[in-house]
């Protein structure tokens, strides 16, 4: 549709407002993590740094437990993403490629799982894990993260399975390839966008998870970033420089990951929503 | 449905499906369904020591919790929280979705990266806004003064209502792009030629929005309202880390109260009872919303 000059103006202003709303806070935090402490807490804040220092990063990496938290989070988030992808692929193939009795009912049941407040299962999970000795282990966090990511991942998988014509697999079958050969050589390579979408979703969800990590992990050496960072907030006489540096470094991995596969994630989100 | 090749005929489908679903469904059963049943069991017991089962207490926990004012107070706060988030997020997300549905240079990049606020960890959201809203070095107070909205620095977490408003805005900042992407999907499903026809008939932008966009977006909005209600009801970390339910209980939603009851006061039975009541309310609400607002089940 044609857009007049007024239309362009309104659109441009709206886009600018949107960009400002999303990016201005990130810009301020990112740039301020390089400012000297007195500039950070200056009564008149600056949009552009007037000073430059690496002291906050130095302190963060050398004297705080941040590197430990960071590595723990990478380990937990990567394992959670890996397991979620495998399980979502298995479930996806069963739900969207096979015919069996009770399929629709099972699928709905999984989706209903989201109606329950996660706080409901926090207490039982804590007591259950205490009994079987899973408290204070990475495995506990991976199990919980996969549980929360899996239903949504299966839901997203539907779009990606639906986008692949069954004829491809049928053609492979006619050529004499068995079921598993078809899956491994035809289906999985074509599902790569879906796998990327699920991987980033599960990774981000685990990277952010605070509630269960705060309860299931006890020793400081096993803390993940969200709980560790929140400890740093309270631990010191608020050291904003340190916190801003920590915040910036915590965002970095997900942003890098997202830069590579973000578009597949958004595609999974949007196309899944309309079907 | 097209006929399938014989090598993967219906007969073997059931067995293969069972093999494939055993692990994913087994995990979900162990970590979702068993705990949910277990929550009911815990809510009927008087647990004093972690790891012990505790004596059966019947409905004592429920009676105590439901006659105590704090539960109802927290429920009220939760309602304010959920409604506030729904309103703010819908307005922001709809605006963003309408913008992203237009064609302009850079729109493809914008459609992906708008979700940036959603992929960063909550604890980082907390650090960002605590600093931006703080009286020492925060940018928001000076900016609002410059724009003439306030005339002297305000305390964003000083009173219950102020803290609640700040929390709702911060949580909406985090979630609106996610909702916007979902709404964008709904917008893109509306065929462009309807708009063309309306424009030819002389309908302005506002008239087109009211006659076409708004009604056709209803199914998407319904799903998002139900999903959003459940999701925001569940939000715990952002509230806990910013206000811990304060000041004076002004932001103590049900999840915060349940967490405190279970892991600060160690009253597991009471906390489980509250969580069971909360689940029943949430599921009931979701069913009512779907039933009342849904035009027709569209199937999958």
- B-facing residues of A in 220-239 (CB < 8 A) are 225-227, 229-230, 233
> Inter-chain contact A173–B127, Cβ cutoff 8 Å?
no
Q: Greater confidence, B90 or B210?
A: B90
Q: Which of B112, B119, B239 to mutate to test the interface with A (most CBs of A within 10 A)?
A: B119
Quote the minimal CA–CA distance from A190 to chain B in Å: 19
Does residue A54 fall inside a structural domain?
no
In this predicted structure, the answer to whether residue B35 has a pLDDT above a threshold of 70 is: yes
pLDDT in tens, B218-227: 888 887 888 8
Quote the minimal CA–CA distance from A120 to chain B in Å: 5
In this predicted structure, the answer to whether residue B9 has a pLDDT above a threshold of 50 is: no
Does residue A249 fall inside a structural domain?
yes
Beta bridge mates, B56: B45
A chain contacts of residue B182, beta-carbon cutoff 8 Å: 269-270, 273
Does residue A229 fall inside a structural domain?
yes
Which residue, B201, B31, B287, is CA-closest to A129? B31
Q: Find the mean pLDDT for residues B35-63.
A: 82
Burial zone of A237 (CB within 10 Å; 0-12 exposed, 13-18 middle, 19+ buried): exposed
In this predicted structure, the answer to whether residue B237 has a pLDDT above a threshold of 50 is: yes
Identify whether the C-beta of residue B215 lies closer than 8 Å to the C-beta of residue A207. Answer: no
In this predicted structure, the answer to whether residue B15 has a pLDDT above a threshold of 60 is: yes
Q: What is the CATH number of the domain that holds A76?
A: 1.10.3720.10
CA distance B283 to B296: 19
- Whether residue B218 lies within 8 A of chain A, CB to CB, comes out as no
Burial zone of B102 (CB within 10 Å; 0-12 exposed, 13-18 middle, 19+ buried): middle
Does residue A97 fall inside a structural domain?
yes
Does residue A51 fall inside a structural domain?
no
Over pLDDT 90: what percentage of chain B? 33
Res B62: pLDDT: 92
Which residue, A7, A143, A165, A217, is CA-closest to B205? A7
Structure tokens at B25: 């469904």
In this predicted structure, the answer to whether residue B210 has a pLDDT above a threshold of 80 is: yes
CA-atom Rg of chain B in angstroms: 24
Which phi and psi angles does B56 have, rounded to 5°?
-65, 130
pLDDT in tens, A207-231: 999 999 999 999 999 999 999 998 8
Quote the minimal CA–CA distance from A235 to chain B in Å: 13
Other Cβ atoms less than 10 A from the Cβ of B153: the count is 15
Q: How far lies B123's CA from each of A227, B130, B244, in Å?
A: 8, 10, 13
Which residue, A121, A234, A224, is CA-closest to B40? A121
CA-atom Rg of chain A in angstroms: 23
Which residue, B183, B206, B162, is CA-closest to B92? B183
- Whether residue B54 lies within 8 A of chain A, CB to CB, comes out as no
Does residue A266 fall inside a structural domain?
yes
SS3 B45: strand
> Inter-chain contact B236–A87, Cβ cutoff 8 Å?
no
Res A1: pLDDT: 54
Res B4: pLDDT: 42
Q: Which residues of chain A have pLDDT under 50?
A: 274-275
Res B206: pLDDT: 82
CA distance A61 to A68: 9
Res B136: pLDDT: 76
A96: containing domain: 63-272
Identify whether the C-beta of residue A213 lies closer than 8 Å to the C-beta of residue A227. Answer: yes
Residue B225 has, within 13 A of its CA and on its CB side, a CA count of: 20
Mean pLDDT score across all residues of chain B = 85
- Whether residue A192 lies within 8 A of chain B, CB to CB, comes out as no
pLDDT in tens, B108-165: 888 888 888 988 999 999 999 998 998 877 888 888 888 888 888 888 898 999 999 9
Domain range list for chain B: 27-293
pLDDT in tens, B61-93: 898 889 988 999 999 999 999 999 999 999 999
Q: Which CATH architecture has domain B27-293?
A: Orthogonal Bundle (1.10)
CA distance B253 to B77: 5
- Whether residue A22 lies within 8 A of chain B, CB to CB, comes out as yes
Q: Which of B11, B17, B236 to mutate to test the interface with A (most CBs of A within 10 A)?
A: B17
Does residue A17 fall inside a structural domain?
no
Q: Look up tokens 């069913």; give the residue.
A: B287
- Whether residue B2 lies within 8 A of chain A, CB to CB, comes out as yes
Identify whether the C-beta of residue B236 lies closer than 8 Å to the C-beta of residue A38. Answer: no
Give this prediction's pTM: 0.88
- Whether residue A34 lies within 8 A of chain B, CB to CB, comes out as no
Quote the minimal CA–CA distance from A78 to chain B in Å: 15
Residue B155 has, within 13 A of its CA and on its CB side, a CA count of: 7
Q: Greater confidence, B41 or B291?
A: B41
- B-facing residues of A in 246-265 (CB < 8 A) are 246-247, 250-251, 254-255, 258, 262-263, 265
Give the count of Cβ contacts less than 8 A between chain A and B. Answer: 286
CA distance B193 to B197: 6
Domain count of chain A?
1
Q: Which of A9, A77, A88, A120 to mutate to test the interface with B (most CBs of B within 10 A)?
A: A120
Q: Give residues with Cβ within 8 angstroms of A166, minimum separation 6.
A: A97, B2
Which residue, B120, B115, B139, is CA-closest to B129? B139
Res B102: pLDDT: 86
Which residue, A188, A160, A192, is CA-closest to A172? A188
Res A272: pLDDT: 55
Res B295: pLDDT: 54
């Amino acid at each position: 549709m044609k857009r007049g000059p007024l239309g362009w103006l309104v659109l441009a202003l709206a886009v600018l407002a949107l960009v400002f709303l999303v990016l201005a806070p990130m810009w301020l935090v990112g740039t301020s993590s390089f400012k000297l402490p007195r500039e950070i807490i200056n009564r008149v804040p600056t949009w552009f740094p007037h000073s430059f220092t690496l002291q906050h990063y130095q302190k963060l990496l050398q004297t705080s437990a941040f590197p430990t938290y960071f590595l723990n989070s990478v380990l937990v988030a990567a394992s959670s993403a890996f397991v979620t992808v495998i399980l979502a692929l298995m479930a996806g193939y069963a739900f969207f490629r096979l015919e069996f009795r009770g399929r629709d009912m099972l699928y709905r049941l999984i989706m209903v799982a989201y109606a329950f407040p996660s706080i409901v299962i926090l207490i039982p999970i804590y007591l259950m894990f205490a009994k079987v000795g899973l408290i204070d282990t990475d495995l506990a966090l991976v199990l919980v993260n996969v549980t929360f990511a899996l239903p949504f991942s299966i839901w997203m998988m539907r779009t990606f399975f639906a986008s692949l014509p069954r004829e491809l697999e049928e053609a492979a079958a006619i050529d004499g390839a068995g079921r598993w050969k078809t899956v491994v050589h035809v289906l999985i390579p074509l599902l790569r966008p879906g796998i990327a979408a699920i991987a980033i979703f599960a990774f981000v969800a685990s990277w952010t998870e605070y509630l269960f990590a705060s309860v299931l992990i006890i020793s400081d050496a096993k803390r993940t970033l969200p709980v560790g960072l929140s400890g740093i907030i309270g631990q010191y006489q608020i050291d904003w420089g340190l916190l801003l540096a920590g915040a910036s470094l915590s965002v970095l991995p997900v942003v890098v990951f997202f830069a590579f596969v973000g578009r597949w994630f958004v595609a999974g989100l949007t196309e899944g929503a309309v079907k | 449905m097209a006929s399938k090749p014989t090598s993967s005929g219906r007969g073997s489908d059931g067995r293969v499906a069972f093999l494939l679903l055993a692990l994913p469904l087994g995990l979900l059963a162990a970590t979702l369904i068993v705990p949910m049943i277990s929550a009911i069991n815990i809510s009927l017991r008087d647990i004093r020591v972690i790891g012990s089962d505790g004596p059966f207490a019947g409905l004592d926990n429920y009676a105590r919790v439901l006659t105590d004012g704090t539960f109802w107070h927290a429920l009220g706060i939760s309602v304010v929280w959920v409604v506030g988030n729904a309103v703010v997020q819908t307005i922001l997300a709809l605006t963003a979705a309408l913008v992203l549905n237009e064609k302009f240079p850079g729109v493809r990049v914008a459609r992906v990266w708008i979700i940036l606020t959603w992929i960063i960890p909550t604890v980082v959201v907390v650090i960002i806004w605590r600093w931006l809203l703080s009286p020492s070095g925060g940018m928001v107070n000076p900016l609002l003064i410059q724009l003439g909205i306030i005339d002297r620095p305000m305390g964003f977490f000083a009173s219950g209502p102020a803290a609640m408003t700040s929390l709702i805005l911060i949580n909406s900042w985090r979630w609106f792009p996610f909702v916007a992407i979902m709404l964008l999907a709904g917008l893109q499903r509306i065929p462009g030629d309807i708009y063309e026809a309306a424009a030819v008939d002389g309908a302005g932008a506002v008239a087109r929005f009211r006659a076409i966009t708004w009604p056709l977006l209803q199914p998407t909005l319904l799903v998002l309202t139900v999903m959003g209600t459940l999701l925001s009801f569940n939000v715990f970390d952002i509230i806990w880390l910013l206000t811990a339910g304060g000041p004076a209980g002004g932001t103590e939603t049900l999840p915060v109260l349940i967490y405190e009851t279970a892991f600060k006061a160690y009253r597991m039975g009471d906390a489980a009872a509250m969580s069971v009541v909360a689940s029943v309310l949430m599921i009931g609400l979701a069913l009512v919303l779907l039933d009342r607002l849904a035009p027709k089940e569209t199937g999958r």
